[in-house]
Amino acid sequence: MPRTIGVIGAGQLARMMIPAAVELGLEIRVLAEGEGMSAALAAVQVGDYRDRETVLAFAETVDVITFDHEHVPQEILRELVDRGVPVHPGPDALLYAQDKLLMREKLSELGLPVPDWARVESIEQLDDFIAEHGGRAVVKTPRGGYDGKGVRVVAHGREVAEWFTALAEDGRGGALLVEELVEFRRELAQLVARRPSGDIAAWPVVETVQVGGVCSEVIAPAPHSAGKLADVAADIALTIADGLGVTGVLAVELFETTDDRLLVNELAMRPHNSGHWSMDGATTGQFEQHLRAVLDLPLGATGSRDDWSVMVNILGGPAEGALADRYDAAFAAHPTVKVHNYGKDPRPGRKVGHVTAGGDDLDDVVYEARATAAIFQD
Amino acid sequence: MPRTIGVIGAGQLARMMIPAAVELGLEIRVLAEGEGMSAALAAVQVGDYRDRETVLAFAETVDVITFDHEHVPQEILRELVDRGVPVHPGPDALLYAQDKLLMREKLSELGLPVPDWARVESIEQLDDFIAEHGGRAVVKTPRGGYDGKGVRVVAHGREVAEWFTALAEDGRGGALLVEELVEFRRELAQLVARRPSGDIAAWPVVETVQVGGVCSEVIAPAPHSAGKLADVAADIALTIADGLGVTGVLAVELFETTDDRLLVNELAMRPHNSGHWSMDGATTGQFEQHLRAVLDLPLGATGSRDDWSVMVNILGGPAEGALADRYDAAFAAHPTVKVHNYGKDPRPGRKVGHVTAGGDDLDDVVYEARATAAIFQD
C-alpha cells in the first residue's frame, strides 16, 4: 500500500497531519516554503512550490501529493498527473478553489445556491451591478485571496480602481468577481471528505464566527441545525464534492440568510479551520480523514463524540513569550480543554493555535473554550 | 518553559508520545537502541542507554529526561540528577520498578496488599516456601523481566536451578523473589499520573486480559467496578505513587482474588499497555498526561469519553506484508474503530499495534475491537 504522503506547504494544516500519520504508521514529507515552518518536524525539503523542477523532484520521493494550501500552479499540477503521480485534490478540482470566478460559474451551472454575482471588467460594469443590488456589493479578486484578503465591500467601483489597474497590467484579460452583499443571520461551514473512488463522508454542519474576515470560533454542530438545515448543508457539499471531483477534505463556507436560505460563500479543498473541532470532537478527525481519502482508503465515521464541541482560535498569542509559557495557567483552570499549539512565533492576528472544549451544555462549553483561549492572548 | 523532552528508548511508548508532543508544540528527542526503531521519526540519536557517556551527552540536548522502559542503570540516573537534569521518574522511584524484591519490601512496608512473598537464596528456601503455600508458587527474577519473561510457576525449586546458578555467577549476592500463586478472578490495572509537585490524577480502573503473559485486551472501565472497587484500586495506586515518589505515569497491575481482595502484582513507571485505551477513550490520554507530568504542568482530566472502551493488541501482525495492507478491509468494516500502527515489522508474538473501540454497549464494543484486531492478524 502507498504509505508516504507528500504535502506541499508547511503550515499548521500540514503539521496537524503528522499526528494522524504517526498513529497510522504513515510517513509525511513536506515541501516547505522556508526553514522553521509549522510542520518542520516532518521530513522536510525546502523549496518553492511555484518552481516546476522543485515540485517534480519532491514528487519522486512520495507516493501521493496533497496540499496545505491551494496555490500550486495548474501547469505543474497537470504535469504531475501526466507523469502518473496521484495528486489529491487534482488540478481539475483545485481550479475551482484557485479561481473564484470559475467557482461561481461552476456552482451556478450545477444549480447550487449562490449569491447573485457577476464578472466585471471595468469600474462601469461594477457600478451597474452595485446600482442593481442596493448600493453596495462585495468585490473579490478571483485569485490569491484568503482570510479576508482580496475581499472588499464597496459602494463605488472606484474604491477598487487599483485592482482593475493591476488586472490591466497583468495582461491576461482578467476580471473581478462582484457579489451581492448577502444579509445573513450567521455563517456555517459544511465539511466533507471524498475518496477518489467516490465515497463521501460528511461531518455535522457547524456554525463559524468570523472576526475581521478571520475565523474566530466554531460551534459543532451548528445550533438549531437538527433536521432540514443539516440535510441541506450536507447535500450542497456532497453535490460540490461530486460535481467538481474533489478528493480529500472539502470545506464549504455557507451563509444562512435572514430569509432562511443557504448560499455557498467560499470553498477550501483541504483540511480547514472550520474542521479543527473534529480532531477532538468527532470519531474521525479531519486530518486522519484527509489521509484516508488521499490514499483512497475507506473513510472513518464522522459522528460527534460530544453533544457540543466548541473550537476557538488563538490569534496572535502572548505579547511576550510563547504559548507554552501559559500552559500552567490554562491547564490548571481548564483540565478538560484540548490545546493545540502550532509551534509558530506569536504575531498580531496570526493563527498560532486553537483550543477545543466538549460537553453537553453549550453555554458551559463555549465558556470553557473562550476562557482557555483568552489565557493565551494578551 | 522547558519544552524538549528526552526519551530513553525508542519503542512504541516513545513513538506514541510524539503525536501528543506535536499537538502541544513540544519537542521529543529519542535515545534509540538502534536504527529503525518504532519512534525513529522523532529527532533520534542512536546509542546504548547503559553507557554513561552516551546518556550524559544525550541529556545535554534536552530539558527533561523520561523513559520508554525502566532499564537505565541506577548509577547513570543518579549522575544525571546530581548534574541537575530533571529525571522523571527519578532513580529513587525507578529502583522499585527495576527490582521486584525491593518493590515487594517497599509495598509491604507501606502496608499495601500484596501476595505472600519471600526472598529466597537457595532451592531449599524456595522449596520451603512452596511447601507452605499449597505445593506451587511463582518465582521471579527480581530484575530484567517483562511480558512474562523471568516469571515461572513451579512446584519444585529445582525447576529454576539455572536461575540460582546465574545469580551465584553474578557474584552480587542476589536472590530470587517467590510469591504465592494467587487464585484470582481477573486482572485489573490502575493507571495514575503524578507530577513532581505532588498532584495526582487517576484514570478509571480497567480489566486486563493476558494471554501467555502478554496483555491482549483491556476493558475500560473494568466491568462491575463502580463504587468500592474503583475507590480501592485508585487508593492503592495513589498510595504507591506518593509513597515511592513516582513522577509521570504509573501503572499498577492488580489481582482481583476469588475472595474479593485486590493485591498488587507488578508496577510500571511509564505509559503502559493497560492505558492505551485512554488515547481515544479518555479526555486526556496517557501520553499527553505523561508529558504534562514530566514537565510538572497541571494534569488533564482523566474521565472516560465513552461508557465503554475496549483496546485489543495486534500481536504478531500479518504473516505476509504490513499492517497497512489490511487497512482497506479493516476501515471498510469498522469505520468507528481507531487503529494504531507502531511502524514495526510483523513478527510472531510482537506487539505491532492496537485498536480501540468505544460505545455504550459493552458487547458491541468488545466485538468491534476484537473483529478489527483479527483482520490484522493471520
Mutate to test the interface with B, among A12, A16, A24, A328 (most CBs of B within 10 A): A24
Residue A35 φ then ψ, to 5° = -70, 155
C-alpha cell at A373: 483561549
Is A266 annotated among the ligand-binding residues? Answer: yes
Distance in Å, alpha carbon of A192 to nearest chain B alpha carbon: 15
Window from A32-36, A362-366, A369-373 with minimum mean pLDDT: A32-36
pLDDT in tens, B278-287: 999 999 999 9
pLDDT at B33: 87
Mean pLDDT throughout A348-374? Answer: 97
ipTM for the predicted complex:
0.94
Q: Ranked by mean pLDDT, which of A163-177, B38-52, B95-109 comes out on top? A: B95-109
Of the two residues B168 and B157, the one the predictor is more confident about is B157
Residues of chain B with CATH 3.30.470.20: 184-375
Question: Does A18 have pLDDT greater than 90?
Answer: yes
pLDDT classification of B42: cutoffs 50, 70, 90:
confident
> CA–CA separation, A205 vs A197, rounded Å?
24
**Nearest residue to B334 via CA among B291, B367, B294:** B367
B272: left (phi over 0), alpha (psi -120 to 50) or beta: beta
C-alpha cell at A210: 468570523
pLDDT classification of B171: cutoffs 50, 70, 90:
low
Q: Search chain B and give the residue with CA nearest A14.
A: B22
Residues of chain B with CATH 3.40.50.20: 4-87
pLDDT at A41: 67
Residues on chain B touching A15 (C-beta within 8 angstroms): 22
> CA–CA separation, B64 vs B90, rounded Å?
11
Contact (Cβ atoms closer than 8 angstroms) between residue B192 and residue B201: yes
Distance in Å, alpha carbon of A308 to nearest chain B alpha carbon: 13
Bond from prior residue into A89 cis (ω within 30 degrees of 0): yes
Query: What mean pLDDT value characterizes chain B?
Result: 94
pLDDT in tens, A293-302: 999 999 999 9
Window from A143-147, A297-301, B110-114, B192-196 with minimum mean pLDDT: A143-147
pLDDT classification of A146: cutoffs 50, 70, 90:
low
Question: Does A104 have pLDDT greater than 70?
Answer: yes
CA distances from B221 to A30, A280, B300, B305 (A): 40, 21, 18, 11
Is A351 annotated among the ligand-binding residues? Answer: no
Binary contact (A339, B19; C-beta < 8 A): no
CA distances from B70 to B82, B144, B339 (A): 19, 9, 27
Mean pLDDT throughout A308-317? Answer: 96
pLDDT at A158: 95
Residues on chain A touching B325 (C-beta within 8 angstroms): 1
Mean pLDDT throughout B136-151? Answer: 80
pLDDT at B321: 87
pLDDT at B227: 85
Contact (Cβ atoms closer than 8 angstroms) between residue A213 and residue A153: no
- Residue type at B206 in one-letter notation: V
C-alpha cell at B271: 505509559
Q: Structurally, what CATH architecture does the domain formed by A4-87 represent? A: 3-Layer(aba) Sandwich (3.40)
pLDDT in tens, A229-266: 999 999 999 999 999 999 999 999 999 999 989 999 99
Mutate to test the interface with B, among A4, A13, A17, A23 (most CBs of B within 10 A): A23
pLDDT in tens, A108-138: 999 999 999 999 999 999 999 999 999 999 9
Is A265 annotated among the ligand-binding residues? Answer: yes
> CA–CA separation, B337 vs B340, rounded Å?
10
Binding residues of B: 100, 140, 179-182, 187, 265-266
Residue A214 φ then ψ, to 5° = -115, 135
pLDDT in tens, A256-280: 999 989 999 999 999 999 999 999 9
Residues on chain A touching B328 (C-beta within 8 angstroms): 1, 297-298
Residues on chain B touching A342 (C-beta within 8 angstroms): 25
Q: In the CATH scheme, what is the homologous superfamily, with its name and number, of domain A184-375?
A: ATP-grasp fold, B domain (3.30.470.20)
pLDDT at A170: 73
Which residues on adjacent β-strands are paired with residue A4? A27
Residues on chain B touching A300 (C-beta within 8 angstroms): 331, 335-336
Mean pLDDT throughout B271-300? Answer: 98
Question: Does B148 have pLDDT greater than 90?
Answer: no
Contact (Cβ atoms closer than 8 angstroms) between residue A5 and residue A67: no
pLDDT at B330: 98
Which residue's C-alpha cell is 545535554?
B60
Binary contact (B336, A305; C-beta < 8 A): no
pLDDT in tens, A173-204: 689 999 999 999 999 999 999 999 989 999 99
pLDDT in tens, B67-118: 999 999 999 999 999 999 999 999 999 999 999 999 999 999 999 999 999 9
pLDDT at B41: 67
pLDDT at A148: 60
C-alpha cell at A43: 521530513
pLDDT in tens, A56-71: 999 999 999 999 999 9
- Beta-sheet strands, E only, within chain B: 4-8, 27-32, 43-46, 64-67, 117-120, 137-140, 151-154, 176-180, 184-194, 200-202, 206-211, 214-220, 248-257, 262-268, 308-315, 338-341, 351-359
Mutate to test the interface with A, among B12, B24, B297 (most CBs of A within 10 A): B24
Query: Any idea what DSSP says for residue B345?
Result: P
pLDDT in tens, B225-268: 988 999 999 999 999 999 999 999 999 999 999 998 999 999 99
Binary contact (B1, A331; C-beta < 8 A): no
Distance in Å, alpha carbon of B206 to nearest chain A alpha carbon: 21
C-alpha cell at B158: 529445582
Question: Does A318 have pLDDT greater than 60?
Answer: yes
CA distances from A256 to A111, A114, A208, A262 (A): 18, 11, 11, 5
Contact residues of B toward A, CB < 8 A: 1, 3, 15-16, 18-20, 22-27, 41, 283-284, 292, 295, 297-301, 303, 305-306, 322-325, 327-328, 331-332, 335-336, 338-343, 353
Mean pLDDT throughout B12-34? Answer: 94
pLDDT in tens, B352-370: 999 999 999 999 999 999 9
**Nearest residue to B229 via CA among B191, B249, B256:** B256
Binary contact (A22, B15; C-beta < 8 A): yes
Q: Structurally, what CATH architecture does the domain formed by B116-180 represent? A: 2-Layer Sandwich (3.30)
pLDDT at B44: 83
> CA–CA separation, A135 vs A353, rounded Å?
39
Which residue's C-alpha cell is 466485538?
B367
Q: Could you report how far apart the first and last alpha carbons of chain B are, in Å?
A: 47
Question: Does B210 have pLDDT greater than 60?
Answer: yes
Is A105 annotated among the ligand-binding residues? Answer: no
pLDDT in tens, A19-53: 999 999 999 999 998 877 777 667 788 999 999 99
**Is residue A137 helix, strand or coil?**
strand
Contact (Cβ atoms closer than 8 angstroms) between residue B213 and residue B151: yes
